[in-house]
Structure 1
Amino acid sequence: MDMSIWQPIVDRLDRLRAAGRRADFWLRDDDAVAPTGALDRLVELADRFSVPITLAVIPAHTSGELSHYLASRDDISIAVHGWTHQNHAPPAEKRQELGGHRPREVVLDELDKGYSRLSALHPSSFVPLLVPPWNRIDPGLLAGLPDIGFTALSVFGAERSSSNPDGAKTMKTGSIASAFPRPGLSLVNTHVDVMDWHGTRGCRDHLEIIHDIVRRLDEMNLDEETVGILTHHLVHDESVWQFLSRLFELTAVHPACRWRRGGDLTAR
């Protein structure tokens, strides 16, 4: 592996240290339901560098087995990843579980069940954070989330409005920022995805991921925003594991980087 490609991240962090500043990073890993070898590997890797994990768990498919596996850990936060992670959009649309294709009351009731189930299974590590499957949610649902107990929402993309909204019916990436700030609900996004979903479905080119991290460091508001890294442990190839190992190695000990727990972010 060419270690020189990592120098831009080190340079940015060194500049922050010289200025007396610090960037918050966080790791969101999606689609957890049960203990697996892949989850073991993620947990062991994060442990090695003391990096906390926020697991987005699918409530309808999980059980006490995962709860028992994580019971003694205080460095893993549990977020609500929809209800069943089932697509309800027609073939011509992007996949959505929390879209506008079903009655609002039905979707909110499922999210309420998911919130109750995970908070009961993981009483000490549960955080009131909703992670919509496929990072998509209908805007009409947002007002009902605080009534369930959610205090934060996490999708993929910038927290501030962009000039290229994804569309009126579904809020994703920059477009969701137009609905914030809003009472009782904060936006805690991920910004860098390690997976090449539209190509190899393995790890993206390491240099491209590094460029995304550097761009986020250059653009973010250090006082209010984070660098959110998005992973999916169940589908990682060896290149993903290598990337994460090197990223954690470089950042976890750097005084200008702080890896945050999910609860730290929802409490802000």
Structure 2
Amino acid sequence: MTRWQALADEDARWGESGRAAELWWRDDDASDVTPSLDRLVGLARDTGMPLALAVVPAQATAALADRLADEPLVDVLQHGYAHANHALAPEKNIELGTQRPAMMTLGELATGWMALERLFGPRALPVMVPPWNRIAPVLVPTLPEIGYRGLSTFGPRARVHPVRGLLQVNTHVDLIDWKGGRVFAGEDAALGVLVTALERARSGGGEPVGILSHHLAMDAGAWDFLRSLCERMKTLENIRVRPARALFGP
């Protein structure tokens, strides 16, 4: 049985359960218009697949805002502030950590949000996507206090609401094998993780399943797979592709 057939079978199981799975797509590290950004947005438009674009505020350009102005399928999320690593070796890279005073970090985030609001208007959602998908637990309760209503990292979420007023909707399928040469993870591997995540959601609380892409780092294999996946979603009756603004609410 091919992995694509396994995906179709999992779609059928959702139908048999009388429920529908929720799938969404997030792409990280956007800041400016590039050929790969044009390709990404074009893919969303061509396939009708809603895209949540995580934008780095400190680097975001007016050209990017202009490029997205006529792309109704694209929502903008906040990707930290400057995507700057403040960890010291051998710690893992992190921007939203405890290496600096919390007020400094939160001040940068607030500045970043104002920049996104100015550039993208209502297209920007108050959803925090921490660079490298890492945020110090002590900072999470402060997010709704400074206006964020959503948090998105990677992997199964521990709770729907990590704190009052904050909804967590994660991604689960990374198309890139970062440790294996920063290349496409492979069709079998990506589909295997996707089916497993959908199975877990079906047997659990129905957590939305997220696809994670990085347009600046994708090779030909990753692009080909992403297009195939977007096209395949049109044929599955019980896996509903959802825009970020629908998942995170008004």
Superposed pair shares fold, TM > 0.5 = yes
Q: Within 2, Cα distance between the matches of 1:4 and 1:97?
A: 40
Please report how far the alpha carbon of residue 115 of structure 1 lies from its aligned counterpart in structure 2 after TM superposition: 1.0
Q: Report if the CA contact (8 A) 1:56-1:78 is conserved.
A: yes
2:223 maps to which of 241, 256, 260: 241
> Within 5 Å, which residues of 2 pair with 1:142-161?
142-160=140-158
1:197 corresponds to which residue?
178
Q: Report if the CA contact (8 A) 1:252-1:258 is conserved.
A: no
| Structure 1 residue ranges (4+ consecutive) displaced by more than 6 angstroms after TM superposition | none
What are structure 1's unaligned runs of at least 5 residues?
161-176
> Within 5 Å, which residues of 2 pair with 1:170-209?
177=159, 180-209=161-190
SS in 2 for 1:189: coil
Q: Within 1, Cα distance between the matches of 2:59 and 2:183?
A: 24
SS in 1 for 2:97: coil
Q: Deviations over 1:82-102 (max 9, x none)?
A: 111000000110000101000
Q: Within 1, Cα distance between the matches of 2:239 and 2:72?
A: 20
Please report how far the alpha carbon of residue 14 of structure 1 lies from its aligned counterpart in structure 2 after TM superposition: 2.0
Asked if residue 261 in structure 1 is aligned to residue 250 in structure 2, the reply is no
TM-score (norm 1): 0.88
Q: Within 2, Cα distance between the matches of 1:223 and 1:93?
A: 33
Q: Within 1, Cα distance between the matches of 2:242 and 2:3?
A: 25
2:87 corresponds to which residue?
89
Q: Report if the CA contact (8 A) 1:51-1:252 is conserved.
A: no
Identity, % of aligned pairs?
40
Q: Within 1, Cα distance between the matches of 2:206 and 2:18?
A: 16
What are structure 2's unaligned runs of at least 5 residues?
none
Aligned-pair RMSD on alpha carbons? 1.7
2:209 maps to which of 220, 227, 240: 227
AA aligned to 2:156 is A
1:6 maps to which of 4, 7, 16: 4
TM-score (norm 2): 0.95
AA aligned to 1:204 is A
Please report how far the alpha carbon of residue 223 of structure 1 lies from its aligned counterpart in structure 2 after TM superposition: 5.8
